[in-house]
Amino acid sequence: MAAITHILNEINYEMVRMLAEGGMGVVYEAHQLGAGQFRKTVAVKLIREEYSAIPEFQKNFIGEARLVADLIHTNIVQTYHLGQIHGQYFMVMEFVGGQNLEQFLEKHRSSQKLVPVDLAAFIVSRVARGLTYAHQKRDRQGNHLNIVHRDIGPKNILMGYEGDVKLTDFGIAKALNLMYNEEGKVIAGKDEYLSPEQASYAVTDARADLFPLGIVLTEILLGKNIFRDLDRSQSRRNILSMPIPHFQTLRPDIDPRLEAIIQKALKRDRDLRYQSAAEMLHDLEVYLYSDGYGPTNEKLGLYMRTLFNVRDPQPIVALSALPRPPEP
């Protein structure tokens, strides 16, 4: 901690606290300092010291930073800078004051409450909006990047107290000229949030992000992930073969229009699934707004502040832990 603090202080970042840590890295809250008493709260992501000298980890970290540098969208956490000092790479990122979706869901579980149906659909629609942008992104030469996030899940969805919803952590994403690992040999992602393609070691495309987004939607609605098992391999088998329920029987206020969206997102055959995040976004927004006024950032923000008893939004961040190296 002292060494990291010293490094950040050298480059005008004032250490505040550790936010999250994972198998490969650590995220800190910091204040970026500048002239005229300039101070900006940011998140600083670093490779763990024991991995910082390993070329493979450096390459992955640099690859992630280069990928997300031009992903500038209201529903994606922005990356401002990639730096290096004394051999230590660090990434400066947008700081989101709020909670991640996992914490949001845990708060509901602890109080035995269900998330309102319209807010559940709204949260997922904002993630679909961010994915639409990422999936369609081209590089500066006009080449389609073919981005696949591959790690859609509650930890990687941040929710601000002002009601903004942002997708984060492209650490195991694949894209043109960027592959975290070789598909076909290693599974990238968390076992209970995989697409069938990921669970079966197949090569993925953007449609692989939509199945886990469907899982996230059902988890928000039901308060649990129906595919999760204590046995990781059983979670994968559930994703591949467990019968998909009719969700209205599990929660009666899920109406037929939303049921149809869920069922389409959870098609195991990707040719029958939503063919793009834009298509899923369209259906969610038609569901939310075709009858008139629907949920907004402001409504979600008020709900968040009430749920977590926050009077004035403070810079309390909830970035996800960094991904662990995938296991075979």
Q: What is the reported pLDDT for 313?
A: 57
What is the Cα–Cα distance from 262 to 93, expressed in whole angstroms?
32
Between β-strands 157-160 and 165-167, what pairing exists: parallel, antiparallel or unpaired?
antiparallel
Q: How many CB atoms lie within 10 A of CB 141?
A: 5
Q: List beta partners, residue 83.
A: 90
| Domain 101-307 coded CATH 1.10.510.10 | yes
pTM of the model: 0.91
How many residues appear in the chain? 328
Name the token pair of 268.
Answer: 């195991």
Helices (H), ranges, the chain? 2-10, 55-68, 101-110, 117-136, 196-199, 210-222, 232-241, 256-265, 277-289, 297-307
Q: How many CA atoms lie within 13 A of 56 on its CB side?
A: 8
Per domain, the residue ranges of the chain are 2-93, 101-307
Residue-level pLDDT, tens digit, the chain, 328 residues: 566 666 667 778 898 888 887 667 788 899 999 999 999 999 999 888 777 788 888 888 888 898 999 999 999 999 999 998 887 889 999 999 999 999 999 999 999 999 999 999 999 999 999 999 999 999 989 999 999 999 999 999 999 999 999 999 998 898 877 655 567 777 888 999 999 999 999 999 999 999 999 999 999 999 999 999 999 999 999 999 999 999 999 999 999 999 999 999 999 999 999 999 999 999 999 999 999 899 999 999 999 999 999 986 554 444 443 444 444 4
> Which residues are marked as active site?
151
Give the other-Cβ count within 10 Å of 328's Cβ: 6
CA distance 22 to 151: 14
Fold classification of 2-93 is Phosphorylase Kinase; domain 1 (3.30.200)
